[in-house]
Amino acid sequence: MKVLVINCGSSSVKYQLIDTDTDVSLAKGMVARIGMSGSVLTHKPHDRREVKVSAEILDHIVAIEYVVSILMSENHGVIKERSEIEAIGHRVVHGGEKFSDSVLITPDLLVDLRNLIDLAPLHNPHNIRGINACLKTLPGVPMVAVFDTAFHHKMPAHAYIYGLPYVMYKRYGIRRYGFHGTSHQYVSERAAEMLGKPLSELKLITCHLGNGASVAAIDGGVSIDTSMGFTPLEGLMMGTRSGDLDPAIILHVMAREELTLHEANTLLNKHSGLAGISGVSSDMREIIEAAKDNHANAKIALDAYCYRLRKYIAAYVGALGGLDALVYTAGIGENSPDVRECSCERLECLGIEIDKTKNNQAVGKQMDISTDGARVRTLVIPTNEELVIAHDTRRIVEAQ
C-alpha cells in the first residue's frame, strides 16, 4: 500500500510517499513559506536528484495540489495517477486524553480534533488545515490521524499530574501529555532489535534531540515519563524554546516588560533556548562551531543544553529503577558526538560509558557506541517518524 504521509505546520507542509510493502520512501519533500512571498517546493524522488520549484502558494490546499502534481509529474514523479495514493497518514500533534492510538479520519473525528485545538492552539489548527486540504485534493482516499501524544497515553498519574489544584486538571485538562511519541516508539523498537531482547523486558531512555527535543523513560515498551508536558515547551532546552523554567519568571518578565500573552508566548517558543542564550543561532552545528571558537555565550548554551539533558537521563534512571539502554536520535542525537559525549559525562556511576572512537564514528547511522564493558548500552538510532505514521495508517485502514 502506498501511503502519503503529511506533516503540516503553520506555513509548511512536509510529505513523504512510502510504499509500505517494501518500506521504500518513494519521494519526500517540503513546501515552505506557504502564504508568504518566496514559497518554494523542494522535492526529492528516491532515485533522482532533488528539485526546487518556486511558485505562489497561497494556502495549504494549493500546497497539497503542488505536492500531488509533482508526485505524478513526468520528470520528477514516482506515480502515474492519483489513485495510486491509497491512504494518507497525518501527523497530528495533540490527541489529548481521548486518543491512545491512531484513528481513521471521519467527520466526527474532525469535530473531536477541533475540540482539541484549545489544548494545542499552536499546532492542531495547522494539522486540521492539512486534513481539509487533502479532503479537497484527494477526495475519497482514506485518511488516518497519528498523534504525537498517543505513545505516552499510559503514563501513570504521578508522572502526568502537575502540582496545581486538581480542579485545573479536571476543568482544563492540564496535565503532562508528552510529544514525539512516534519517534520514541520507533527507536525503542529498533533498540530492542539491536539488543536482541523483547521490548517488554527492557528499560530504555530515548533522547529525541531535533529542533524540538524530548526524553522519554520507557519501561517494557510503555512510556512512563517524558520531558515535554502540557505543551512541547517543557523539558530540555531546545533550539528556540526555553524548556523548564521557574513559572514565576514568566509572570515577572510579563509584568516588567508589559508583554501581552502573545508576546510572552513568542519569547518562550521562538527567542529562547540555544538561540536565546547564545545570540548566535538555534542550529546546534553553528553553536558547536562558535563554542569551539570560544564564543562565550555559545559555550554556555552548549554546556547548559548538555547539562540539562544529563540531569534528565539520571532522573529517568531513577524513574525506571534501572536502565538497559540509552538511545540518541534525531538531528542532534544522530549526528553530534560532542553532545552525546558531554551529556554522558559523569554518568559512569549509572553504568553509562561511551567509547570515544565509536562515538565519533556514529554520524547518521545506527550504532552501539558503548564501551565493551559498559553495564548500559548507549545506542545511536536514526529515527523514522514517517515510517511509523505510514505503518499505522495502513494498519488502521486495513482494519476497517
Nearer to ligand ADP, 77 or 210 (CB): 210
Nearer to ligand ADP, 144 or 274 (CB): 274
Residue tagged 553509562 (cell numbers):
352
CA dist 89 and 324 (Å) reads 33
- The residues that are catalytic are 148
User: Can you spell out the DSSP letters for 13-72?
Assistant: EEEEEEETTTTEEEEEEEEESTTSTT-EEEEEETTS--EEEE----SHHHHHHHHHHHHH
Determine which residue in the list 67, 202, 268, 284 makes contact with ligand ADP, applying CB under 6 A.
284
CA dist 319 and 347 (Å) reads 16
CA dist 75 and 304 (Å) reads 47
Q: How many CB atoms lie within 10 A of CB 341?
A: 15
Which window, 252-260, 263-271, 281-289, 304-312, contacts ligand ADP (CB under 6 A)?
Answer: 281-289
CB of 165 to ligand ADP, least distance (A): 34
Which window, 56-64, 127-135, 158-166, 206-214, contacts ligand ADP (CB under 6 A)?
Answer: 206-214
Q: Cell numbers for 291, please give them.
A: 563554542
Site residues for ligand ADP, 220-239, by CB under 6 A, read 239
Which window, 40-48, 98-106, 169-177, 209-217, contacts ligand ADP (CB under 6 A)?
Answer: 209-217
User: Can you spell out the DSSP letters for 255-306?
Assistant: HHHT--HHHHHHHHHHS-HHHHHHSS-S-HHHHHHHHHTT-HHHHHHHHHHH
Q: Which residue is nearest to ligand ADP (CB)?
A: 331
Determine which residue in the list 65, 86, 97, 283 makes contact with ligand ADP, applying CB under 6 A.
283
124 binds ligand ADP (CB under 6 A): no
Which window, 246-254, 310-318, 324-332, 388-396, contacts ligand ADP (CB under 6 A)?
Answer: 324-332
Nearer to ligand ADP, 32 or 288 (CB): 288
Determine which residue in the list 48, 197, 285, 365 makes contact with ligand ADP, applying CB under 6 A.
285
Which window, 138-146, 265-273, 325-333, 341-349, contacts ligand ADP (CB under 6 A)?
Answer: 325-333
* Short-list 199, 204, 152, CA closest to 175: 152
Residue tagged 514523479 (cell numbers):
77
CB of 31 to ligand ADP, least distance (A): 15
212 binds ligand ADP (CB under 6 A): yes
Nearer to ligand ADP, 96 or 331 (CB): 331
Residue tagged 466526527 (cell numbers):
108
Q: Are 188 and 223 in contact (CB under 8 A)?
A: no
What burial class does residue 109 get, using C-beta atoms within 10 Å of its C-beta: 0-12 exposed, 13-18 middle, 19+ buried? middle
Cα dihedral sign for 88, 90, 96, 99?
positive
289 binds ligand ADP (CB under 6 A): no
211 binds ligand ADP (CB under 6 A): yes
Q: Are 245 and 214 in contact (CB under 8 A)?
A: no
CB of 335 to ligand ADP, least distance (A): 3
331 binds ligand ADP (CB under 6 A): yes
Contact positions vs ligand ADP (CB under 6 A): 210-212, 239, 283-285, 288, 330-332, 335-336
